[in-house]
Amino acid sequence: MVDLLEFEGKNLFKSYGIAIPSGKLIHSASDFNDFKEEHVIKAQVPTGHRGVNGGVVKFKNKEEFLSAFNKISSLTFNGFKPTYFLIEEAVNHYRELYVALTLDRNNKAPALLISSEGGVDIEKIPKIKIESLNLDVFVGMLDYVKRQAFKFVGLDDKYKAQFYGILDSMWKLFTDKDAELVEINPLAVTDHGLIALDSKISIEDDSLFRHSEYKRDEYSPDELEMKAKKKEISFVKLDGNIGLIANGAGLTLATIDQIKLAGGTAGDFLDLGGTDDPARVAEAIELVKDSNPKVLFINIFGGVTKADTVAEGIVQAIKKLNITFKIVVRLKGFNEEKGKELLRKNGIDAFTDMDAAIKEVVNLSNYGDSN
Ligand code: GDP
Ligand code: MN
């Protein structure tokens, strides 16, 4: 999923006829010099809650602008540091609505979500204040849906035509861009009509070949995850002290659960996939090593993956890296005996039984803790 930045989403809104405040994208403070009106400066980061985290600041003159700019550019939002800032006229409005098109996975249909209490997180809005209307993907935004949505928000009739137009445009945008989410929060109600003060658009990964302009280098605020991405290893950092390497996403997740049940916590998710190339296995171990685990658990179910070549990778890694933590290995399946023999020669007694291996790992991970 690619999350567009606010200004990218707003550019799309504009080209689909949805009103947005007039604004300018800047990179440094010297890019802006218009202090006749009140403006807002907004950090451009692919994450929400900027408002409550100081990423949206109003200013009336140059001094206020400079201090807002310095403040905002020193902040990080969910690990993202803004490098672009959107400056917009401050829009006077008296109500904030929530309008979004998303996928309702339970009903296997797109859904229009509406609330008359916008401006805050959709999760924070009480369920009874949200109307969810399913759409048929083949027919789209029908009139009765628009009527129902309009009735639900309770706006004055003078906004009706514009509101309907916004829903039509959102639907067109949602389908044209293969979006998973097109959200306007808040949609401001002003004397001059409805204006989208924010945009959130997420585009489905599998459609990116049709939308190459939104393809980007994947970015994660976590350095190790970035390193893993570059090496095409599927790795997610977690909070625990047990480094984990397993093969197959299912086994990896099941192992995380088993560790938890036995009283430990995994420090990462690392799925080797079908890899049994010793060099790749060694790379995976090096990655987990850098996350400083107390103990490393390697859980391999051999099938497509050969247990013995995985063992070779483990031995390579031990020889190459200065490993100071314990390694527990469970090997089962294709070429299991060969793999175990190799490990034994290098001082590792591999387990076959999952429960026994987990017990050992969790014991080691809790060793020395006072509680
Ligand atoms: P988010 O917190 O990341 O969702 O960022 P938003 O763009 O939604 O901004 C947060 C809040 O700032 C909004 O809910 C609005 O209440 C307010 N806000 C944003 N832009 C403007 C603006 O141009 N004028 C005024 N008055 N308020 C704004
Ligand atoms: Mn918002």
**Cα dihedral 164, 105, 214, 75 in deg (nearest 10):** 90
Count Cβ neighbours within 10 Å for each residue of 66-91 and write b for 16 or more, e otherwise.
eebbeebbeeebeebebebbbbbeeb
> Which CATH code fits 222-367?
3.40.50.261
Range of lowest pLDDT (38-42, 80-84, 126-130, 137-141) = 126-130
Q: Are 205 and 1 in contact (CB under 8 A)?
A: yes
Range of lowest pLDDT (115-124, 180-189, 245-254) = 115-124
Task: Give the CB-side neighbour count of residue 333, counting CA atoms within 13 A.
Answer: 17
* H or E element at residue 62: helix 62-74
pLDDT band at residue 259, thresholds of 50, 70 and 90?
very high
Taking alpha carbons only, the member of 185, 129, 204 closest to residue 10 is 185
pLDDT exceeds 80 at position 221: no
Output the six-digit token pair for 57.
């600041």
CA of 179 to the centre of ligand 1 (A): 23
Q: Where are the beta strands (DSSP E) in 257-312?
A: 268-271, 295-302
Q: How many residues does the chain have?
A: 371
Give catalytic status of residue 94 as yes or no. Answer: no
Q: What is the pLDDT of residue 104?
A: 95
Residue nearest to atom 7 of ligand 1 (CA): 198
Give catalytic status of residue 88 as yes or no. Answer: no
* Ligand 1 and 225: CB distance under 6 A: no
Domain at 22-89, CATH class:
alpha beta
- In whole angstroms, give the CA distance from residue 72 to residue 1: 26
Q: Are 246 and 235 in contact (CB under 8 A)?
A: no
Q: What is the mean pLDDT of residues 50-70?
A: 96
Atom of ligand 1 nearest to the CA of 186: 14
CA of 77 to the centre of ligand 2 (A): 14
* Ligand 1 and 88: CB distance under 6 A: yes
Ligand nearest to the CA of 117: 1
Portion of the chain with pLDDT greater than 70, in percent = 99
12 backbone φψ class: left, alpha, beta (φ>0; ψ -120 to 50): alpha
Domain boundaries, the chain: 22-89, 95-212, 222-367
* Ligand 1 and 293: CB distance under 6 A: no
CATH topology match: 95-212 vs 222-367: no
Looking at the DSSP bridge assignments, the partners of residue 96 are 188
CA of 212 to the centre of ligand 1 (A): 29
Q: Are 248 and 271 in contact (CB under 8 A)?
A: yes
Question: Based on the number of CB atoms within 10 Å of its own CB, is 107 exposed (0-12), middle (13-18) or buried (19 or more)?
Answer: exposed
State the pTM of this model.
0.76
Residue 135's SS3 state is: coil
Sheet holding 56-59: strands in order across? 23-26, 85-89, 39-43, 56-59
Q: Which of 8, 88, 98, 283 is catalytic?
A: 98
pLDDT exceeds 70 at position 371: no
Q: Which fold has domain 95-212?
A: D-amino Acid Aminotransferase; Chain A, domain 1 (3.30.470)
Atom of ligand 1 nearest to the CA of 21: 23
